[in-house]
Structure 1
Amino acid sequence: MNKYFALRKTNRMRTKMLTEKSQEQLKEVIAYLRSVTFDICGVEVVQSDLIDIAMRANEEGCELFQFITDAETFVNEVKPSMKPLRWPDFLIFEISVLCFWGYGVASLVMTPSILAVVPDFKIDVTLASLLQLCLCVLGFYYLYRSAMEKVGFPPRKHQVKAVAFTVLYILVLYEIGKLLRLALGSIVFVRIPVWPYTIANLLIGAFFLWLRFDRYGKDARLEERV
């Protein structure tokens, strides 16, 4: 079994053994770490360690953290040790999400309705759409590195800033997309029938999902936990 999935399953089972308050504290810390780092395996390892600490604390009649400042101190100590986001990991994540969910599953759901109205509907792959996709991926990467990674704990104190950056990102990309379509939308590279387009995206997305989780399962930090 993939070591990443094995540890994640174990963590979920052990979390249920904690008090309700400790579970809430654990959930808040882990949710925060997942939102500010792409180190998915590192987060599971941290969760495993926190569950050990919480179990000992619960046995003594205490909670995982006695004060919010304890959780903040822990997060500030752990966060620098997480693996930094790298382009290969980011691209594998983006391709798996965009192809499988964004283009594949979404097209699978909408295609029957579209073909019922336009039987010969085809997807136009234009220069404008490719440029917008590249800008979207690059923009998200730098938004994440410059804004999301720097969000402090607890995250609710910084939600307004994070939401503002995200909304600005979406609005800017939308306006750039409109300009690109006006200027370059007529440059069409290929027109693809919708079903082959959908199936191709599902297959590509599934491959990158497998690659992504296979890489997680081979993380050396999981050896001593599973």
Structure 2
Amino acid sequence: MKDKILEAVQISKTYGEGESAVQALKASDLTIWKGEFASIIGSSGSGKSTLLKILGGLLPPTTGNVLLDGQDIYAMNAEQLAQVRRQKIGFIFQDFRLFPEYTVRDNILIPFYLDHRTPDEQMLRKLTEILGIAEKLDARPSRISGGQQQRAAIARALIGKPRIVFADEPTGNLDTRTGEDTMKLLTECAAEFGQTLIVVTHNPEIAKKAQQIIRIEDGCIIKGL
């Protein structure tokens, strides 16, 4: 029997008030299972990124609850939620979000620095070898390719061994071949370390490889397979 890792109960999101209010996400339920690869698809403006941010603890819903390992993350105070995001959740963004003044190594190890923990050098070596950037650890982000920067961002998201990893259009800034290779490595790494992966994508080829496909139209989750 599969275990739930993430559950959304009647979550919705409205921006603004009165006549100017915009309902970005209508009341919806969603369940993500431990170790699953789930994709979120839909047209631009359909509510994909809003859903991802709510599930990942970055954006409080207007109504509803988000349960991670059975705990309602939005019932936590700001410090508790920040700790959950650092220790249980990994994020990968389309624009990489690497610090240009830091080396690749330091960018990857930021989750440890923020928590004042000793870096996991063994995990660093294993991840960077799998991702093919072990020889780039001393370089600054500006000195490596876009694909290598995204792989560094993947390593940063995975190195703390989070329970769940969220990726918002992780191949959006990459050419087709590099994007395919990067996505393959991301899914392989998540499987290797037993992590749940949720990916927002416009790419149907990426989406159809997921165990669960979550389709959003006009703020409604209309399909979950």
> How high is the TM-score relative to the length of structure 1?
0.25
Greater helix share, structure number? 1
Question: Greater Rg, structure 1 or structure 2?
Answer: 1
Greater strand share, structure number? 2
